[in-house]
């Protein structure tokens, strides 16, 4: 059957099961939007306030559902507005297909109106990208883009489509979605070596990253932890892969990890890193990271082996397959002394304190949110203190419930991401935990929430400062709070919400926490809602390991007076 290029695009999206897309129309994608109009009963398009928000929404949709997210933007500025979103997805290995329009082929390369070389620009931040040169290649290019995005270590793929190609006609035949590319078979010798190390260890320690979630390997991870009789810790990205309420879970490792997790790192004899890339935010000083332990590194991407830290042995493959094979090779271990030393030990984890004037702490609010939602809400975050607090004080029970920009650290990510997460999980409570700084970056997406009835809860933890940068300025820049005090911004959040049609509540006393959160949860059943949480500006994120320092004895208190 002969179809227009734009109809072929929509048909191919449907082939891939992509029935929800995020985007923003414009000149070069007029034909595509005409097809979306025609297919509006089959494909749900959500227009955001800005292409960046659309890209983060597609990302949040992908992270929370495991499906490939789709974002559509027009040429030129539409395409460049996607860049932060694409780079965010790339750093966190999120499967995403970005479709951009471009000017017609006869105008390419001539500095035409709204022309930009988006394939050139996105080369370093995509797994692969395409510019479609013939309408006959269009369908297969889209199919291949989805396949690349969801194969191996997942990631974003961009397809740039000149406008005349969306208008041209080609033969189209429906095809089933293809399975991801196959990975090489597991190396049995590598598995045996890992199993032998596990067998001989008496103080094993399991550390998990986002790869466990990407590979849907939570069950296998749980089994391995039981068999090894080991404590389990996680990176920021790995949160929820292992039930954080389980006795074996000892919190995050790294810059803002728990004291317990740091202790275990330095006292274990075997460190099993699973689906992780050993980010500098976790390892600190790499020359002493896990220096008393042999390190096994399990990952789908061999390029991560010995990249950031030197390891003892590696197992390459899909985490689920590797863990499943590894569990077959090891027998039940018993390390009661080690487990009791770590799991039952009191390591003096810090507790947050408010002030007399502003007594509320993020810890109290987020812990209460955890309690009221049974730890089952999907939590997205912005970047900075809000992100660390959301990571530390909410206990993620399941994978795909913590949605955060770990690698790129994108302020302004969370609100867009929460919209995508809610669209992908309409029956779940979705909360974006933001600071006032990050929130201001992309608060325009509140419009999207109210316009489309995407019933998220927007929590703004308002301390009137860029708290994380302020924290570093206090510690390392002699309290020169350069450009991080936002007192000149007199924002009335209640009115702001009202302007966008979003009811806004305020928490300013400890007695407010429970009733306000309960009310917000109730409202979110039928409408989006915002909560401003007023806190003191000098509540810091603790524990803390300064960048590049060994992950030993984290800072647990920061004096405000010296």
Residues labelled as active-site residues: 51, 113-114, 163, 468
The answer to whether the beta carbons of residues 190 and 263 sit under 8 Å apart is: no
Task: Work out how close the CB of 132 gets to other proteins at its nearest, in angstroms, rounded to a whole number.
Answer: 12
- Name the residue with tokens 């460049």: 80
166 vs 378: CA distance, rounded Å:
37
Query: Cα 262–355–556 angle (5° rounding)?
Result: 15
In the complex, least distance from residue 362 CB atom to other proteins, rounded to whole angstroms: 36
Residues at the interface with other proteins (CB under 8 A): 119-120, 123-124, 127-128, 148, 153, 301-303, 305-307
Peptide bond into 544 cis (omega under 30): no
Question: Minimum CB separation from other proteins for residue 124, in Å?
Answer: 5
Extract the tokens encoding 530. Answer: 């915002």
Residue 120 or 348 with smaller CB distance to other proteins: 120
At closest approach, how far in Å is the CB of 301 from other proteins? 7
Give the shortest CB-131-to-other proteins separation in angstroms. Answer: 8
Report the distance separating Cα 210 and Cα 304, nearest Å: 13
Closest distance of CB 303 from other proteins, Å: 4
Nearer to other proteins, 306 or 518 (CB): 306
Task: For other proteins, give the closer residue by CB, 249 or 305.
Answer: 305
Region at 478 (left for phi over 0; alpha for psi -120 to 50; beta for the rest): left
Instruction: Report which of 109, 48, 114 is spatially closest to residue 80, judged by C-alpha positions.
Output: 114
When the beta carbons of 152 and 409 are compared against other proteins, the nearer one is 152
Report residue 173 CA to chain centroid gap. Answer: 36
How wide is the angle at C-alpha 416 spanned by C-alphas 37 and 158, nearest 5°? 65
Q: What share of the chain is helix, strand, coil (3-state, %, to 5)?
A: 40, 15, 40
| Whether the Cβ atoms of residue 212 and residue 299 lie closer than 8 Å to each other | no
Closest Cα to residue 13, out of 32, 26, 28?
32
Smallest Cα–Cα separation from 316: which of 191, 196, 203? Answer: 191
Q: Which is nearer to other proteins, 107 or 388 (CB)?
A: 107
Phi (first) and psi of residue 69, to 5 degrees: -80, 150
CB 401 within 8 A of CB 430: no
């Amino acid at each position: 059957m002969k179809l227009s290029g734009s109809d072929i695009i929509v048909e191919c999206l449907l082939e891939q099961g992509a029935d929800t897309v995020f985007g923003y129309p414009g000149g070069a994608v007029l034909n595509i939007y005409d097809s979306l109009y025609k297919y509006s009963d089959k494909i749900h398009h959500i227009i955001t306030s800005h292409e960046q928000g659309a890209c983060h929404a597609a990302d949040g949709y992908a992270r929370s559902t495991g499906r490939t997210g789709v974002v559509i933007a027009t040429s030129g500025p539409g395409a460049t507005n996607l860049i932060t979103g694409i780079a965010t997805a790339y750093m966190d290995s999120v499967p995403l297909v970005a479709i951009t329009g471009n000017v017609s082929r006869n105008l390419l390369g001539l500095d035409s109106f709204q022309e930009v070389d988006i394939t050139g620009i996105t080369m370093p931040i995509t797994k692969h990208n395409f510019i479609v040169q013939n309408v006959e290649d269009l369908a297969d290019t889209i199919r291949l883009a989805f396949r690349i995005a969801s194969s191996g270590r997942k990631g974003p793929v961009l397809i740039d489509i000149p406008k005349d190609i969306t208008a041209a006609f080609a033969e189209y035949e429906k095809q089933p979605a293809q399975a991801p590319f196959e990975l090489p078979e597991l190396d049995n010798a590598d598995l045996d070596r890992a199993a032998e190390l596990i067998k001989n260890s008496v103080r094993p320690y399991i550390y998990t990253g986002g790869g466990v979630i990407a590979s849907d390997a939570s069950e296998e991870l749980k089994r391995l932890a039981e068999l090894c009789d080991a404590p389990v810790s996680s990176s920021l990205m790995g949160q929820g892969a292992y039930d954080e309420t389980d006795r074996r879970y000892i919190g995050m490792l790294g810059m803002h990890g728990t004291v317990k997790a740091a202790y275990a790192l330095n006292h274990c004899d075997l460190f099993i890193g699973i689906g992780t890339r050993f980010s500098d935010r976790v390892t600190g000083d790499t020359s002493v990271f896990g220096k008393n332990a042999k390190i096994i590194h399990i990952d789908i991407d061999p390029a991560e082996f010995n990249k950031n830290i030197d390891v003892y042995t590696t197992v390459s493959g899909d985490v689920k397959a590797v863990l499943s094979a590894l569990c077959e090779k090891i027998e039940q271990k018993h390390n009661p002394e080690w487990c009791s030393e770590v799991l039952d030990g009191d390591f003096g984890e810090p507790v947050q304190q408010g002030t007399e004037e502003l007594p509320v702490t993020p810890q109290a609010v987020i812990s209460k949110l955890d309690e009221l939602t049974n730890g089952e809400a999907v939590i997205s975050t912005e970047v900075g203190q809000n992100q660390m607090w959301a990571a530390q004080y909410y206990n993620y029970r399941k994978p795909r419930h913590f949605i955060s920009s770990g690698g790129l650290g994108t302020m302004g990510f969370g609100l867009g991401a929460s919209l995508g997460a809610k669209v992908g999980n309409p029956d779940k409570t979705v909360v974006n935990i933001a600071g006032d700084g990050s929130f201001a970056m992309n608060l325009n997406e509140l419009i999207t929430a109210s316009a489309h009835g995407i019933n998220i809860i927007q929590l703004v933890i308002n301390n009137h400062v860029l708290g994380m940068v302020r924290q570093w300025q206090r510690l390392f820049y002699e309290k020169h709070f350069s450009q991080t005090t936002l007192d000149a911004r007199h924002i009335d959040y209640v009115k702001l919400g009202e302007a966008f049609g979003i009811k806004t509540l305020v928490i300013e006393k400890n007695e407010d926490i429970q009733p306000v959160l309960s009310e917000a949860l109730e409202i979110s059943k039928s409408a989006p809602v915002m909560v401003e949480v007023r806190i003191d500006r000098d509540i810091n994120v603790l524990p803390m390991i300064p960048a590049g320092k060994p992950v030993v004895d984290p800072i647990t208190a920061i004096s405000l007076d010296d």
